[in-house]
Amino acid sequence: MSNAVIRTEFLCKSFGKLDVLKDISTEIYQGEVVAILGPSGSGKSTFLRCLNLLERPTRGRVYFNEYDITMPKANISKIRQRLVMVFQHFNLFPHMTVLQNVTYAPIKVKGIDKQEAKTKGLELLTKVGLAEKADVYPAKLSGGQKQRVAIARALAMEPEMILFDEPTSALDPEMVKDVLDVMKGLAQTGITMAIVTHEMGFAREVANRILFLDRGYLAEDATPSEFFQNPHCDRAKQFLEKML
Ligand code: ADP
Ligand code: MG
């Protein structure tokens, strides 16, 4: 039995005539922290969104724990409980308090007891350093705080894997570190993570693997030390010259 949490086979995605992902075949294994790098427009977000079917692949397959989630009869909402996404713009519910944001899905979707969800939610908020904000509305938070709430909300589902799409790109520079520190802590817990990011230092230090996308192709699949010291393709070399 393979221990791939995610496996893609010839994953293709087109929007009309625009071919965005081209035959991506790869696996992400349990406990891996995979950084997905590449120029803007190379298909990173689309790739991530195909993994939990926020985008439907045009061709090819996506397996989650070896279960083909691209089959028409696959239960997508169930899969998304275990394969959650953290977005660049947080996507918090504005009309709910911080704690309600964190407990909403466990109560509504997973049917967890309210009190239990609350206790767990407060624990998670403590973990991300925001227990004192439990009763505040998102509008009162800084970007970095919002993103930490979004991470607590994702964790409240007790997911098997978390997908992060540029979680720090919308933040003021002084907020970035707090969020990266939370993610670094998470990475050490052994949860499987795939992170689209432009934070090269973070990718190098925290990821165990780098996937580099170039115009919809998976152009490199390497360890961070290989990728940063000796990238194979010219596009990756150019990319790194710009980023570092
Ligand atoms: P990245 O995250 O690497 O910047 P994206 O995956 O967001 O790249 O986008 C890759 C390409 O697909 C871009 O040319 C983008 O304009 C296009 N694209 C993404 N989403 C859509 C969509 N829903 N409809 C049409 N084109 C899209
Ligand atoms: Mg993107």
ipTM of the complex: 0.99
pLDDT at 1 over 70: no
CB distance 45 to ligand 1 below 6 Å: yes
Of 71, 52, 49, nearest to 60 by C-alpha is: 71
DSSP letters, the chain, are: ---EEEEEEEEEEEETTEEEEEEEEEEEETT-EEEEE--TTSSHHHHHHHHTTSS--SEEEEEETTEETTSTT--HHHHHHHEEEE-TT----TTS-HHHHHHHHHHHTT---HHHHHHHHHHHHHHTT-GGGTTS-GGGS-HHHHHHHHHHHHHHT--SEEEEESTTTTS-HHHHHHHHHHHHHHHHTT-EEEEE-S-HHHHHHH-SEEEEEETTEEEEEE-HHHHHH---SHHHHHHHHHH-
pLDDT at 149 over 80: yes
pLDDT at 243 over 90: no
Average confidence (pLDDT) over 39-62 = 97
Average confidence (pLDDT) over 47-61 = 97
Q: Which domain holds residue 190?
A: 4-242
Going by CA atoms, what residue is nearest to atom 18 of ligand 1?
Answer: 15
> Are β-strands 192-196 and 33-37 bridged in parallel, bridged antiparallel, or unpaired?
parallel
Residue-averaged pLDDT of the chain: 96
pTM, rounded to two decimals = 0.96
Going by CA atoms, what residue is nearest to atom 22 of ligand 1?
Answer: 15
Per-residue model confidence (pLDDT) at position 67: 95
Q: Ligand 1, closest atom to CA 48? A: 6
Per-residue model confidence (pLDDT) at position 109: 93
CB distance 42 to ligand 1 below 6 Å: yes
pLDDT at 131 over 90: yes
Going by CA atoms, what residue is nearest to atom 12 of ligand 1?
Answer: 20
Best residue among 13, 15, 217 to mutate for probing ligand 1's pocket (most ligand atoms within 8 Å of CB) is 15
Number of compact structural domains in the chain: 1
Per-residue model confidence (pLDDT) at position 244: 77
Going by CA atoms, what residue is nearest to atom 27 of ligand 1?
Answer: 15
Report the CATH number that the domain containing residue 212 is assigned in CATH.
3.40.50.300
pLDDT at 140 over 90: yes
